[in-house]
A and B are shown apart, each in its own frame.
Chain A
Amino acid sequence: MTLIWFNSALFFELLAAGGFIVFIIKQQQWVFRISYWILVAGLICHTFFLAYRYYLLGTVPVLDLKSALSVFAWSIIGVYLIIQARFKLRVLGSFVAPFAAFLMIVSSVMPWKTGPVNPLYKSLWLTVHVGTIFIGDGLLAIAFLAAIMYLIQERQIKQKRLGSIYTRLPSLATLDRINYHAIVYGFPFLTAGMITGSIYAQYALGTYWRWDPKEVWSLISWLFYAALLHQRLAAGWQGRRAAVLSIICFLILVFTFVGVSLLMGGYHSFSSLEAV
């Protein structure tokens, strides 16, 4: 049952990613429309998969890297579909869908872990903590992709290479605005995620803050994003510098998400999460 939902989500998301790549090359509206609805289908299957896992485990399915990556892919697609409704920026999908599909491929090749879940994790606080963190991560991932698109487009314009990439990518102002909005909305979610996490830690472990490696790195990424937001709002940063900094921020965030959990141990690491 889980396998069916997971595989159909994977299938639709890969198909949508392919469709979006065809769209950016061919620039035909119907390709976009089909890819868009395939992506929606993927998200629906993905939602069923996660809901079913939630039901099976009794808590949010993020306790191993495989599940966490799939939740990340799910949140990115979800956030993208919301942004698409507002900004109508079709070409963003050509970056988002392949990124999400990549996460899903990595997730799909990792082994399934099934075992009893520590009752400590069956808490609403964990759900809220993980939910807000992942919505924040999804938004910040979009900010990251918009920043990459910005740098590509800026390079085309600076170097006066106004070829096919230039015509396909949107204007610098649009990309900068998406980057800005994604961070402005993503940052509060990240903050809320950290606060609920620490409340949960107090409830589960008896202390708000433990200097666990993941906590430390979360704080570092939070400070970086805070600095970026400050520079944007107070110092009027925009364009290239803001884009570069938001890419650096996101890389730190990804390290926090994947690297720390795999390499540095602590109670957030997946090996300790799986232990009963």
Chain B
Amino acid sequence: MLKLINMGMNHETAPVSLRECLATDPDNTPKVLSCMRNLTSVNEGLFLSTCNRVETLFTTECPHEAKTAVLSYVSGLAGMSPEAFQSSLYTHEDMEAVRHIFQVASSLDSMVIGEPQILGQIKEAYYHATREKTSGVILNRLMHRAFHVAKRVRSETGICGAAVSISYAAVELAKKIFHVLEGKKALLVGAGEMAELAARNLLSNGVSALVVVNRTFERAVRVAQQFDGQAASFDELTTQLKDADIVITSTASAECVITRSMVKQAFKKRRNRPLFFIDIAVPRDVEPAVNDLNNVYVYDIDDLKGVIELNMAQRQEEAIKARRIVDEEVVKFEQWMETLAVVPTIVALRTKAESIIRAELKRSSSALGELTASQRAVVETLTRSAVEKVLNDPILFLKGKAGRTTLNTYLDTTKRLFGLDTHDMDGEHE
């Protein structure tokens, strides 16, 4: 009986120290795949290793043997004993394995649900498997279905919808205010990793100019260089507020750096153009009363965190919908797997019919010798279609019985009725 097996570990079951053992070396994937190819117990195989997960997926006729072999090889690559590996491992079989792979591909099993990278990583893993020729009928089908599920989940649910990081949430808000960021100017007050990340995201989303203001001018110049921006001194802050559309503040100042009166003053020259403050600093840099001014929007770090929490909750809700899609697709895949059991019998039936046709045509060839080539072709077509029409109903009938408990009886009957040689066929369904 052919089994589909998935063994793996993810961010929940294994500590990062264990996951990174395998993720660091890019040669690991081809190594594992060629090991799988050489193992007689493994038919088809796939290996996925990212910083958050390690997954092996293979089909086998002798599950126990294959599992031990794969486990010992993979743990050997990580330089550990299989026993140490075992405790962090999960094993899924058949439809559970299918479900797991579908969930991984559609980012339902990720640390940040809905993150987009995993699909690319899975595609990469599949590409390796095809290149190493460890992927066959079942894995080809399974992986293509997994990509299809991921696509469906992405388009039919909002799982990848709203931003779940501070800098993306800021970009999203800016887009809700300005619609497009092309031609907008950003002002970065202070520095810091998160502020710079936000600035980078704004720039990559179309913001055309960036001015960096810092208490120490040298630091401002250095940061500005990174972004191809301009540096300005702290005293120029009020003047800079006149031109900016989006202001990111993250200074270490204990008092507010931007006050209501400053913004009000800047607005006299701004002609009411909207101004968006992203205040990442703790304690805050922008006076809360600034938010009360017309066409000014102030979001501090807590507001942004609130946005993210909301979006996370929304993704969780969408994940329920996504799991339903996965369930649907698992059922479809199961149906396909069941039809596989019928395939050898159908193939045998067709082969037998074809050989009879050939033999009969050969036998009559002398009698048919007087015919022209086109007439011969007509005779051949006629014979073929007559045979095919006879076989059509039994084949449809068998396909219809796929997955039923009575299937084996029918397969057996078919073999007997048509005198099919069972030795040539796979033993799977016996």
The judgment on whether A and B are partners is yes
A residues with a Cβ closer than 8 A to B are: 153, 157-158, 160, 162-163, 166-167, 170-174, 177, 235-241
- Note all chain B residues with C-beta closer than 8 A to A166: 176
When the two chains form the complex, which single residue of A158, A170, A236 contacts B291, counting CB atoms closer than 8 Å?
A: A158
Point out the residue from B162, B179, B291, B295 that lies within 8 Å of A171, measured CB to CB: B179
Give the complex CA separation of A170 and B177 in angstroms: 9
Please indicate the chain B residues that have their CB under 8 angstroms from the CB of A162 in the complex. Answer: 173, 307, 310
Q: Does B303 contact A (CB under 8 A)?
A: yes
Instruction: Say whether A239 contacts B291, CB under 8 Å.
Output: no
19 intermolecular pairs with C-beta atoms under 8 Å apart: A157-B173, A157-B297, A158-B297, A160-B306, A160-B307, A163-B310, A166-B176, A171-B179, A172-B178, A172-B274, A173-B178, A174-B179, A177-B179, A235-B272, A236-B271, A236-B273, A238-B272, A238-B273, A239-B274
Beta-carbon contact of B177 and A171 below 8 Å: yes
Q: How far does the alpha carbon of A162 sit from the alpha carbon of B170 in the complex, in Å?
A: 12
What are the residues of chain B within 8 A of A173 when measuring CB–CB?
177-180, 274
- Residues of chain A contacted by B310 (CB below 8 angstroms): 162-163
Note all chain B residues with C-beta closer than 8 A to A177.
Answer: 179
Which residue on B lies nearest to A236, using beta carbons?
B271
- How near does chain B come to A229, taking the closest CB pair, in angstroms? 15
Q: A158-B291, A239-B274 are in contact. List 15 more A-B contacts (CB 8 A).
A: A157-B176, A157-B297, A158-B297, A160-B306, A170-B179, A171-B176, A171-B177, A171-B178, A173-B179, A235-B272, A236-B273, A237-B272, A239-B272, A239-B295, A241-B294
Residues of A within 8 A of B58 (CB): none
A45 to B297, CA, bound (A): 46
Chain A residues with CB under 8 A of B175: 171
Minimum CB distance partner of B292 in chain A: A158
B277 beta carbon closer than 8 Å to chain A: no
A240 to B175 Cα, complex, angstroms: 17
With an 8 Å Cβ cutoff, the count of chain B residues facing the other chain is 21
Contacts of A174 in B (CB 8 A): 179
Contact B271 A240 (CB under 8 A): no
Q: How far is the CB of B277 from chain A (nearest CB, A)?
A: 12
Q: Check if B126 is an interface residue, CB within 8 A of chain A.
A: no
Which A residues touch B291, using CB under 8 A? 158
Q: What are the residues of chain B within 8 A of A153 when measuring CB–CB?
A: 176
Let me know if B176 and A241 touch, CB within 8 A: no
User: Footprint of A on B, CB under 8 Å?
Assistant: 162, 173, 175-180, 271-274, 291, 294-295, 297, 299, 303, 306-307, 310
Q: Which chain A residues border B294 with CB–CB below 8 Å?
A: 239-241
Residue on A with the closest CB to B297?
A157
Smallest CB gap from B298: residue in A = A158
Residues in A whose Cβ lies below 8 Å from that of B274: 172-173, 238-239
CB distance from A205 to the nearest CB of B (A): 44
Nearest neighbor of A159 in chain B, beta-carbon distance: B291
> In the bound complex, what is the Cα–Cα distance between A173 and B295 (angstroms)?
11
A167 / chain B contacts, CB cutoff of 8 Å:
162
* Alpha-carbon distance between A236 and B267 when the two chains are bound, in angstroms: 11
- CB-defined contacts of A237 to chain B, threshold 8 Å: 272
> Chain A residues with Cβ under 8 A from B307's Cβ?
160, 162
Nearest to B176 among chain A residues (CB) is A171
Q: Which residues of B contact A171 (CB under 8 A)?
A: 175-179
Q: Name A241's closest neighbour in chain B (CB-CB).
A: B294
Contact A160 B303 (CB under 8 A): yes
Q: How far is the CA of A237 from the CA of B273 in the complex (A)?
A: 8
